[in-house]
Amino acid sequence: MYSLDLTKPDGRALTLYARHPLDPKIVAPSPFPEPLNASPHLRWHPLRGEWVTYAAYRQGRTFLPPPEYNPLGVTTDPAHPTEVPAGGWDVAVFDNRFPSLGGPDAEEPPELIVPSARAAGHCEVVVFTQDARGSLGGLTLAHIELLLQVWGDRTLRMVQRGDIAYVLPFENRGAEVGVTLHHPHGQIYAYPVMPPVPVRMQQEAQRYYRGKGCGVLQDFIAGERHAGLRMLYEGSHAVAFVPVCARYPYEVWVAPIEPVESFIQLTPDQRADLARALKTVLLKYDGLWQRPFPYLMAWYQAPTDGEPHPESHLHAQFYPPYRTRDRLKYLAGTEIAAGFFAMDALPEEKAGELQRVEIALE
């Protein structure tokens, strides 16, 4: 993997990644000449015991731009720059212009009736490819392997900062999940505190590890492999399956078989097989109804507190919004208000639908 660190005219960082050496003379463009100079902040939710971030300036962020303007497309006219330059790069990562979390220089928060804090942290945009009409699932296996390396490099950089508690790479795909830019891309949120969902998962993983001496997801994967009913991909080092406890009809998990704390620790063999598992899921999704399949993909890994976390197990969870070909799954009162999910379909049935989709990896 090759990388090139650049600085945009408005002061934001841009890193280009490629499988071949990059031209050091590439210049970083930006649609914005000046810094945003806006600072988010956190407010404490006393009933839930968690932080909420506030960034009102995000109301003015780019929203469904006209087809002729793609801010994530390669700059072709210097008079009308986009976020990324021309050149032989494969993946580009840049600081989000409208971040929900700020850097270490974030302004002091307002004084309120609840505790408040600076929204330190970091938000990045990850452009998966130069091809505006492409998709994550349409990338070559080598390109997906590179993306896994990029996520590892970004995680490592956040660890080295010393003020980040958790790093979450994710992708929102499709208008149904609120995507406003359709160029294939994802984001990375680096949080100053552990977010509520990873906190709960980490607590369960630690409790299980103390009692069993192994990871909960490690045993869960062994159980799914033994059952075989819901498997979508089973390789030498990675798996993909509809979990027996799925909360969404077409929910899928992707993971290395052996516990790996984060992207940083992946071996080349694990990374290669994980790319095959990931691409298998994405191709099956798109092949299910012969159309682009929307989803939220989130990658969970160990906290970045500098401590060993043998209980952690890197994995992705996919949350697709459809429950049938033409019906969205809206969260019901019991799910939003109580956090108690109610499924209208059995995971085995939906796994069977995906299993029957024929694909060709490469």
* Residues taking part in catalysis: 185
User: Distance (Å, rounded) from C-alpha 211 to C-alpha 207?
Assistant: 6
Q: How many helices (H) and strands (E) does the chain have?
A: 6, 16
CA-based torsion, 102, 106, 110, 116: positive or negative: positive
For 187-242, give the DSSP string: EEEEESS--HHHHHHHHHHHHHHHHHSS-HHHHHHHHHHHH-SSEEEE-SSEEEE-
Nearest-angstrom CA–CA distance, 202 and 208:
10
Q: How far apart are CA 298 and CA 282, in angstroms?
A: 14
Q: Residue 177: CB partners within 8 Å, gap ≥ 6?
A: 294, 295, 296, 321
Within 13 Å, how many C-alpha atoms sit on residue 323's CB side?
13
List, in sequence order, the alpha helices (H) in the chain.
141-161, 196-212, 216-227, 268-288, 333-338, 347-355
